Chains A and B, each alone.
Chain A
Amino acid sequence: MAGAREEAGDSRLVAGREPPPRIITVTAKTPQERQEFTLAENCSVREFKEQISMRLNCDVNRLVLIFTGKILRDQDTLSQRGVLDGTTVHLVVRNRFPGFTPSCHLTATPATSNQPIPGSNSTGSSPSTGAAGLLTRLGRIARGSPDLADFLGHLAQLLMAVPEAVVQFLDDPSIQGLLGETPSSTNPSGTGPGRLMAQPQTAPPAQAAETVPEALRSPALLRELLMLRADERGLGALKAVPGGDNALRQVYADIQQLMLTVPASAPRAKGPASLSGPSNSSSSAGPLRLGNVWPGAQGRVLGASTQATSPYSSSIPNLYMGLGPGSQDMSPTIGKGALPGPSAPSASALRNALNVLHQNPSLLHQLTAGSPLRPRLPLLPILTNPRALQAWLQIEQGLQTLSMEIPGLGPCLRGSGRPHGGHGGGLAGGSNSRVSSQQPTLAVLQLLQALAHASPNALQTPPPPPPLPPPPSEGRFQQELDQLKAMGFSNRDANLQALIATGGDIHAAIERLLGAPQA
């Protein structure tokens, strides 16, 4: 009878007795597959895991069950957590055993947080402790977090918290031995670690502390340092582990992230001087080449630069950031400032241009939005190829001419209902809404062209800087527009359109406005 009751599944009909546990079917879903399990609804999560581990042939302790966003603990029962008949539970099989929450105070927060908080991570590192102190702390970290990736992450944090200690640390012969460099190596061509090693010996520690982060900032240097030097050892093993790649990338990202935040605290005076150096020398990639300077950590570089923004508004990292979120007022005047001298690849012009981009990250994707070629537009090749940029500029100019000549055509081409007047809208005469809604695509393109030519590697003879964009239509018709406005035609756009269509004849424009109320 009990069996029949269970089969019927409707044990609540029995009065006055505790209903026997129902058998339910639960699906466990992994990224690879889904499997069904039948068990009693009051069995514990642990039992469920044991069933799973038997079926999937993996260790019980590596299983993580997730249901409606909550991680199921072993001691809960399925019904307690709301796992009912027919529901699906997500399963993750960990690659490595979940680390025990380290009791060491060094890893106060779960190892997942990788935000650089120099000094506040309760390492309490004081600059005066020498390499020995560092090493003991490292030892404690190593014991505290069994995961190699975590260890390296914390290592990076620790090192970057005390730049002077970095110098001492690197001086330590054991570390140098680890890095495969002898203390006496003075490679003049400056392989990364060689230069690194040489620096502390030749320069006073204070300077070395600054040059070290600077040298380390160079991605090539960093890559060499991390990959070539340590690659043959532990990191190589780490890479071999499936999934270890992610950890590695995280480590690289963290280290680079921290490297980049250090210059933010360096003396400001050093800033521009040191920046124009890298910005010109490392610009072999071109100022706008987004791809693959540091493929692994590019995403994180964006994150890093948002934290290191303050002194270096024109630094290369912020170029990347400039293409991310953020919106400020248009300042096309700065962009125009860069236009007159495209053939002079001065760092300041470059910086100004980058500044504009930085302040107007929406420019670039307005750029793409404004062009009818957008769906097929591979942005990067266009931006980095001066000839392509030029061609695109011509297209945009042609489109603009077309839309001015034939107002009706404009909306179809531009996908916006407004006439494409109001170039350089930041100048007097443009209403605020106009400025914000009509990005001067042309000005941006010219700016980009200026950038491309300002790059030292621009091969093309820079075309003569295009004349200032055609005087805004509204400037031409300023008088007429004012008149129309005084008469009570408040729709400025329609006024302008009418004026353009009639070639400035105000009476005909009025006729038009009165006769055909189409925007």
Chain B
Amino acid sequence: MEPTNLYPVKLYVYDLSKGLARRLSPIMLGKQLEGIWHTSIVVHKDEFFFGSGGISSCPPGGTLLGPPDSVVEVGSTEVTEEIFLEYLSSLGESLFRGEAYNLFEHNCNTFSNEVAQFLTGKKIPSYITDLPSEVLSTPFGQALRPLLDSIQIQPPGGNTFGRPNSQS
């Protein structure tokens, strides 16, 4: 057996509300939310995330959000950078195009979950993926849904996996 390289896979978790959600959610939603989570996958010394501009990458912690609020060790993968990048560009053309972004149904955490499963077979912690349904199960969330649906999040600082032949 030839030796295979194992690359660590991490999940960077950011709280977009910077602590506000933890304080205000009991009042506004009636339930305690620890944060509004934005996540990204870090592997091969790069950070990958999904936003309204599509799949983007940057050096770890390189978005305007700064360093992550917490880091989760997802596991290790044998997938090489080459294969991974091909996979990502294929994802970016099919399932994770920029216009497919939806804050509730198909957001950065959906992407992180997908990629984590691809890379390691494991999912990301459920408190992150359950967030939209938690919010929507409150009357406040339901009331604001049309507004929230239109929110598009794209942390600046990354560069996007473009479609073929797209140069900005």
Listed in ascending order, the chain A residues whose CB lies under 8 Å from chain B are 30-32, 64, 66-71, 90, 92-95, 98, 110-113, 239-246, 249, 290-292, 295-300, 302-303, 306, 323-325, 327, 361-362, 364-365, 369, 374, 379-380, 415
Contact = CB atoms under 8 A, between A and B. Distances in A.
B78 A325 contact: no
Given A245-B162, A362-B66, A31 B91 contact: yes
Given A69-B9, A240-B165, A302 B78 contact: no
Contact of A324 (B62, B93, B162): B62
A245 B168 contact: no
Given A239-B165, A242-B164, A290-B156, A323 B64 contact: yes
B44 interface: yes
A67 B159 CA distance: 29
Contacts of A243: 86, 89-90, 164
A365 B61 CA distance: 13
Contacts of A32: 90, 94-95
Nearest to A72: B78
Given A69-B77, A299-B57, A365 B64 contact: yes
Contacts of A69: 9, 75-79, 119-121
A246 B85 contact: yes
A415 B20 contact: yes
A303 B62 CA distance: 8
Contacts of B164: 239-245
Given A31-B90, A110-B80, A299-B62, 7 more contacts: A31-B94, A69-B75, A112-B82, A245-B166, A298-B158, A324-B66, A327-B67
B127 interface: no
A347 to B, nearest CB: 26
A67 B121 CA distance: 7
Contacts of A68: 120-122
* Top-6 shortest CB links A-B: A68-B121, A112-B81, A325-B61, A69-B77, A69-B120, A299-B58
B157 A302 contact: yes
B129 to A, nearest CB: 17
B78 A299 contact: no
Given A69-B76, A92-B90, A243-B164, A379 B83 contact: no
Nearest to A253: B159
B4 A325 contact: no
B65 A112 contact: no
9 contacts: A31-B94, A32-B90, A71-B4, A95-B86, A112-B82, A296-B167, A302-B157, A325-B67, A327-B67
A112 B64 CA distance: 27
Given A94-B83, A292-B168, A361 B156 contact: no
A302 B81 contact: no
B87 interface: yes
Contacts of B120: 68-69
Contacts of B95: 31-32
Interface string B27-60: 0000000000000000011100000000011111
Interface of B: 4-5, 9, 18-20, 23-24, 44-46, 56-62, 64-67, 75-83, 85-87, 89-91, 93-95, 117-122, 156-159, 161-168
Contact of B159 (A295, A327, A362): A295
Nearest to A376: B151
A364 B64 contact: yes
Query: Which interface residue of A32, A69, A298, A302 has the most chain B CB atoms within 10 A?
Result: A69
Given A70-B78, A323-B157, A90 B59 contact: no
A196 B43 CA distance: 37
Contacts of B117: 90
A415 B157 contact: no
B119 A415 contact: no
A127 B23 CA distance: 62
B106 to A, nearest CB: 14
A364 B18 CA distance: 13
A379 B66 CA distance: 14
Contacts of B161: 246
B94 A369 contact: no
A317 B112 CA distance: 29
Query: Which interface residue of A90, A239, A327, A374 has the most chain B CB atoms within 10 A?
Result: A90
Contacts of A297: 159
Given A249-B159, A299-B159, A365-B66, A66 B86 contact: no
Nearest to A321: B62
A327 B156 CA distance: 19
Nearest to B167: A296
Contacts of B23: 415
Contacts of A241: 164
A102 B94 CA distance: 32
Contacts of B65: 365
Contacts of B89: 243, 245-246
B9 A299 contact: no
Contacts of A246: 85, 89, 161
A241 B163 CA distance: 11
A64 B83 contact: yes
Given A295-B159, A302-B58, A365-B66, A111 B82 contact: yes
B79 A66 contact: yes
A365 to B, nearest CB: 5
